[in-house]
Structure 1
């Protein structure tokens, strides 16, 4: 039975599932195992809730909401509404961010976990053997364990960078107390683009630097181009194709000799699994060269008693995958199941416009000779009414007309993606979407229009078109004979 939470912290006993880490994967995994009747002990060294609550999803989306309000006020004139002056009080913006965290925090708190039957210990856990661990000197024996210790922001080996004490996605929320006049963001991935655009919209002078030739290198090139144009419209100086060479005296030097002065430097170039002090070698848990824990399709490690989920297993670093994987790993561990993770993983970059993708990208689909159905949002009525027609929706179809991928660029694109992720996962065809009644007008109309385009093209193709014409003529003759018989 699940623990009531009344057991003394010093008496750990033998637990069915030891969970190392109190972020999304650990919390979901622990609650799943407790609900299944397992005795669960969760150990967290800092605070439950993890990156998502404290330094990731919640604060960043709260900041983006404030930035969007400022941007909407500035562009209101295009809709006939004049806002003479937009003033940003950064202290109140930060208060809004903290309030959002405070509102959500109880859902991830130790008290809520204990109420769900999970024992919680504050401390640092280290694996000491295949079925043992130590928590600040306390010995713990486990039947199974779940590693969910997350990841840390990477600092690239740029000379002088560490000495400049740069901000990261973890430290920016506490250390940046005033809106900087000049902010340099090193990294043009999702985090760099989101935060760079947000601070620019709030009034900072922002430069985004990336050594790649385009922003959001993991997305379709057309989507990257739309986002780059949007950032530039918001005043961001986007510098691409140049590596950072050094940092000194408040300046970032690029490989071509260009120097960019800054008041604050934010590094967003990736993450590394947090496993260095975990004791993986003593437990027989293999790590890859980049530090991540190696798992199979069921999230089991090289130690058959230990599973891992979330950022500690490497990319993709998404809260939604961490939660789902935490649940799968925990149920596999305590019930002896062999459930595998779903390979259909949706992703969203929350810039303005958003970029939402799932499955095969348009670029890869084109290279593989698959069918692409693209609808530009200039033809979407809801986009026209809101004077926001930048963006597009593209469906990627296989030879059986099944939807195998989709990319949506536009407002609230992430909301549209759920339907498309389900379509990819269930092997739905374009005709399935076209035959489903959707509300009008929405940005989702682009999905329906793209599906209808495919249906119409199929109806116009050989031999479908001649067969349809023959069917229409046959129907007409029958009606004529019935009329003559009267």
Structure 2
């Protein structure tokens, strides 16, 4: 019979070494809990190996190529731009390699976390098998993430489709690349490969890209992709795949050398023994949790993509911290329901809170500033974009959309504003550095303040105040 992993129950058993698991394990260990983290492949998760880090490194190379080609508009001629895909891949690998030590087992062990490479599965409400050895736990955290979906299109498996997990294995730049899916990942990778030199066709079943985002923002991204040479096939889905040929629902066909699928992700819950632990799934296949990230088993919490909540690394990190502190300290902390999000296309699309399209239905105010009026955008010749603030009746910022260069950086201030209930006056009354793309949010806030100051009631109050001051001046003159 296998020997137990530990003699005593561990305080927190963490299953999964991605962002949620790493943050959860670090949090628990820092609180003095005996923590065991189990990862069957490599610590760091999707973000490090197949998500945030490699994708942004690829986007950096693609942006450099696009900027070089477009430098002539600023009076700088570069000549023909060539892309060495082998060196691009080396840059991507170098970025991963530079960041990997922070998430490596050695760093975790140094923080007081025991790391076990292998699989874990529950055998009961407070027991599990870890790498074939039994372990008892006082609390457990499920952080197994999510995997890319491959749609049930006839013949697709034979085409060897790429996903966001496997696209990094490409050794040559595809001459013709078809991307299925017009969400953030599909748009980012589609634009990147087009800028690097692939002939890209993006197929999206909806009539527009980036479905959850502001329609005007999505339209600007679509226009940008077309300028970069991406052919958009909107409002049509893939129906059948033959070698090198995708048949669409509208009867047309698209030839390809490689097919990249980006139509969503599904939580990884297989082979975890969740039924033995009494852990229930929700209707979408994610681990069901309450607001504190506790599951139907009071000893077990879940965090990150496996919960089916927004698939963002920053959400996973926050989840890991909240779930681990609740599990170890018996707290009832809840997760922040307002989640910022950024699509890293060019232009970037950054959003948080109530979208402008819904604001007017709810009686809210939208203040929008076009970037054509922003001095930094004019100076750089990149004026396609806008900033919108959504304000409630008390003039608090409850939502925002920013479209343009470095929009994600601007979103940090707006995320704080939404979380802390800051008003347009708070933003307008704060001195901001000039000139920046941030000027747009200040201008939007100022527009709201000035509109309110120009209201009849305020103007009437100012007239009364001036009359009182004049009367006081007259009395002083006597």
> In 1, Cα distance between the equivalents of 2:131 and 2:59?
39
> In 1, Cα distance between the equivalents of 2:402 and 2:472?
46
1:15-54 maps to which residues of 2 (within 5 A)?
15-54=10-49
Contact 1:276 1:291 in 2 (8 A): no
> In 1, Cα distance between the equivalents of 2:285 and 2:270?
7
Instruction: Show the counterpart of 2:367.
Output: 373
Contact 1:9 1:121 in 2 (8 A): no
Instruction: Show the counterpart of 2:254.
Output: 260
> In 2, Cα distance between the equivalents of 1:312 and 1:437?
42
Instruction: Show the counterpart of 2:121.
Output: 126
> In 2, Cα distance between the equivalents of 1:427 and 1:11?
47
> In 2, Cα distance between the equivalents of 1:357 and 1:322?
18
Instruction: Show the counterpart of 2:99.
Output: 104
Contact 1:24 1:49 in 2 (8 A): yes
Match of 1:386 among 373, 377, 380: 380
1:125-204 maps to which residues of 2 (within 5 A)?
125-174=120-169, 176-204=170-198
Instruction: Please report the RMSD computed on the Cα atoms of aligned residues, expressed in angstroms.
Output: 1.2
The structural deviation recorded for 1:277 is 1.1
Instruction: Show the counterpart of 1:359.
Output: 353
Instruction: Show the counterpart of 2:344.
Output: 350
> In 2, Cα distance between the equivalents of 1:307 and 1:439?
43
Contact 2:44 2:100 in 1 (8 A): yes
How big is each residue's C-alpha offset from its partner over 1:337-377, in whole Å with a ceiling of 9 and x where there is no partner?
00000112100000000000000000111222210000000
Match of 1:243 among 237, 252, 269: 237
> In 2, Cα distance between the equivalents of 1:379 and 1:228?
22
The structural deviation recorded for 1:85 is 1.0
The structural deviation recorded for 1:481 is 5.5
> In 2, Cα distance between the equivalents of 1:240 and 1:354?
20
> In 2, Cα distance between the equivalents of 1:43 and 1:352?
38
The structural deviation recorded for 1:10 is 4.8
The structural deviation recorded for 1:465 is 1.2
Instruction: Show the counterpart of 1:57.
Output: 52
> In 2, Cα distance between the equivalents of 1:385 and 1:474?
47
How big is each residue's C-alpha offset from its partner over 1:288-314, in whole Å with a ceiling of 9 and x where there is no partner?
233210000000000000000010001
The reply on whether 1:228 has 2:214 as its aligned counterpart is: no
The structural deviation recorded for 1:9 is 9.4
1:10–1:127 Cα change, 3 Å: closer
> In 2, Cα distance between the equivalents of 1:12 and 1:378?
66
Give TM-score, length-normalised by structure 1. 0.96
> In 1, Cα distance between the equivalents of 2:417 and 2:69?
38
1:424–1:472 Cα change, 3 Å: same
> In 2, Cα distance between the equivalents of 1:129 and 1:106?
34
> In 2, Cα distance between the equivalents of 1:79 and 1:345?
37
The reply on whether 1:205 has 2:194 as its aligned counterpart is: no
> In 2, Cα distance between the equivalents of 1:460 and 1:400?
17
Instruction: Show the counterpart of 1:4.
Output: none
Instruction: Show the counterpart of 1:5.
Output: none
Contact 1:180 1:264 in 2 (8 A): yes
> In 1, Cα distance between the equivalents of 2:466 and 2:427?
25
Contact 2:162 2:261 in 1 (8 A): yes
The reply on whether 1:338 has 2:332 as its aligned counterpart is: yes
How big is each residue's C-alpha offset from its partner over 1:205-235, in whole Å with a ceiling of 9 and x where there is no partner?
0011000011000101011001000100111
Give the count of matched residue pairs. Answer: 476
The structural deviation recorded for 1:14 is 1.5
Instruction: Show the counterpart of 2:421.
Output: 427
1:249–1:21 Cα change, 3 Å: same
1:258–1:294 Cα change, 3 Å: same
Contact 2:5 2:134 in 1 (8 A): no
Contact 1:253 1:260 in 2 (8 A): yes
Task: Please identify, of 287-296 and 95-104, the stretch whose mean Cα deviation from structure 2 is larger.
Answer: 287-296
> In 1, Cα distance between the equivalents of 2:153 and 2:217?
29
> In 1, Cα distance between the equivalents of 2:475 and 2:196?
73
> In 2, Cα distance between the equivalents of 1:215 and 1:207?
13
Contact 2:148 2:264 in 1 (8 A): yes
The reply on whether 1:410 has 2:392 as its aligned counterpart is: no
Contact 2:4 2:135 in 1 (8 A): no
SS of 1:143's equivalent in the other structure is coil
1:131–1:10 Cα change, 3 Å: closer
Give TM-score, length-normalised by structure 2. 0.98
SS of 1:463's equivalent in the other structure is helix
The structural deviation recorded for 1:144 is 0.1
> In 1, Cα distance between the equivalents of 2:239 and 2:435?
49
